[in-house]
Amino acid sequence: MHDDDSRGDDALRARLRAADPADALAPLPPTWLDHRMEQLMTDTSTATAPEAPTPARSRIPRWMPVAGAAAAVAIAAAIIAPLALGGTQPTVEQLAAPEGGGLASGSCLALDAATIAAQDQAFAATVLEIDGDTVVLEVTETFAGDVADRVEVPQVDATSSDYSGVPFAVGGEFLVSALDGTVTGCGVTGADSPELRAFYDEAFGG
């Protein structure tokens, strides 16, 4: 029974050697393993990790600077065009001084809201400048009629006219009324006081 086991082991070994693909190769020399180990121990080269790819730079399209320049030109044109066409220039009109120092009839009546409401033009203004005998008024509020942005009126001689009671002074605020292109006197036009403002509010529903 022992002999049968030996024969079976020998047959198995023979079959394994026949299936081994390296069985036909020549045996390695006894010094090969030592030589290979020496090579591995003396090899100083190190593997380096692959470099990360450099991200591509974003490129600005060539048309973007052109578009920016076009936008700048459009903005400049929007600003300059109205100036060139006079769109931002204030409108100006002239009013004459009252003759005879009062209303058209030459006599002054007691001031009331009805007299002020009968005027063609009525507005509030600030004295912008005085050039000789000409006063330039900057209109700040319009009560009646079509009034320009600025109105030029003659300076007042307080000793000979009741046009406003006091001469115009730069920076002063006035309430002004006019009839047929002529400033109305007799207190209808005067400094913007609470008393005169009350008459204007009553006349124009302020």
From first to last of its 206 residues, the chain has per-residue pLDDT tens of: 555 666 667 777 777 777 666 666 666 666 766 767 777 777 665 555 556 555 555 555 554 555 555 555 455 555 555 445 556 899 999 999 876 544 444 567 889 999 999 999 999 999 999 999 999 999 999 999 999 999 999 988 766 655 555 689 999 999 999 999 999 988 999 999 999 999 999 999 97
Strand ranges, E, within the chain? 92-94, 121-131, 134-144, 150-154, 173-179, 182-183, 190-191
Cβ 95 vs Cβ 148: under 8 Å? no
Task: Give residue 61's Cα distance to chain centre.
Answer: 26
Query: Cα–Cα distances in Å, from 125 out to 3, 4, 87, 144, 150?
Result: 138, 136, 22, 13, 9
Residue appearing with tokens 């006894």: 30
Cβ-based neighbours of 94, under 8 Å, separated by 6 or more: 151, 152, 153
Give the pLDDT score at 27: 63
**In order of start, what are the domains of the chain with their CATH numbers?**
93-204 (2.40.50)
pTM of the model as a whole: 0.56
SS3 category, 54: coil
Cβ 150 vs Cβ 175: under 8 Å? no
| CA gap 121, 142 in Å, rounded | 8
Give the pLDDT score at 105: 43
Task: Give residue 58's Cα distance to chain centre.
Answer: 29
Cβ 108 vs Cβ 188: under 8 Å? no
Which tokens hold the place of 190?
């005067």
